A and B are shown apart, each in its own frame.
Chain A
Amino acid sequence: MATKRTMTLNLTEAEMDALELLSSQKDLNKTAVIRQALRLYQMVDQRLREGKKVFIEDEMTKAKAELMLL
């Protein structure tokens, strides 16, 4: 049976501040924020590996900037 595994995460103060802010804004606990971030990263990465591009579009100007992930 698969079980959950635990890891300890070392974050800088700025990263922890960002995590706490997102947690508050999104009404998610910090673990949930990290999990969402991992899901989003995987989703974007999969699209890029399929040869697709990911863009951020400015709704007002319609200007597009490509999101690069290494």
Chain B
Amino acid sequence: MEKSVVHLERRKTGEAIAGELCDDITDEHLELWRTTWLPHVDEVVARLKQQRVPIDKWPQDLHWKWDEKTAWSRGRLAFQRYSLVCDGALQGLMLLSVTKFARLQSQFGKHLAYVEFVATAPWNRPDISAEPVFRGVGQVLVRTAIEVSRSESFHGRVGLHSLPQACRFYREVCGMTDLGPDPKYEGLVYFEMTEAQAAAFCRVD
């Protein structure tokens, strides 16, 4: 298991806080997910019900079972898992696939790193937290997917299906190409990043 130092920005103060990116989701990470993310999720669900928010307006990844995703993907070479810990807390999780192919015309049929699932901790989410704690989890994990893609000689190509509320992030912040809703994947919008887009994303401005 390899650990890399990465930084997140503490939103309140703007300071960079050093954290640890691990190239696996261990049982310790899952224990953190269970004991720190899930209670938050339960509170959010209770609040949504109390406010009578229609279920189709709820954040769609609240019920993701990371223990199941981890157990299933372990031992399967096609998948890689990443976890991000910062300030003593689990801040992000990601499951990648490295056997999928690009659809964008300019890179059609070439291998890319596909983000099966990615999530930030509930306390970082602006849709459910009045005062999100850290910024940068999404970009650090997208950058991780790019670096994995490069190490696999996929030249930084990345693909993913965005949750509806995250399309703006992938389109505007990550600069990915929007290929539109995918009817074979519950109508989620499919995004791809080319080698050039990956290079632009990784540049220190």
Binding site for B on A (CB under 8 A): 1-2, 26-29, 31-32, 35-36, 38-40, 42-43, 46
Contacts and interface: CB of A to CB of B under 8 A. Distances in A.
A32 B153 contact: yes
A27 B110 contact: yes
Interface of B: 1-2, 76-78, 98-99, 110-111, 152-155
Contact of A39 (B1, B2, B98, B153): B98
Contacts of B110: 26-27
A19 to B, nearest CB: 14
B76 A28 contact: no
Contacts of A31: 153
B76 A42 contact: yes
A32 to B, nearest CB: 4
Nearest to B110: A27
Nearest 8 Cβ contacts at the A-B interface: A32-B153, A39-B77, A29-B153, A39-B78, A28-B153, A39-B99, A42-B77, A27-B110
Contacts of A38: 77
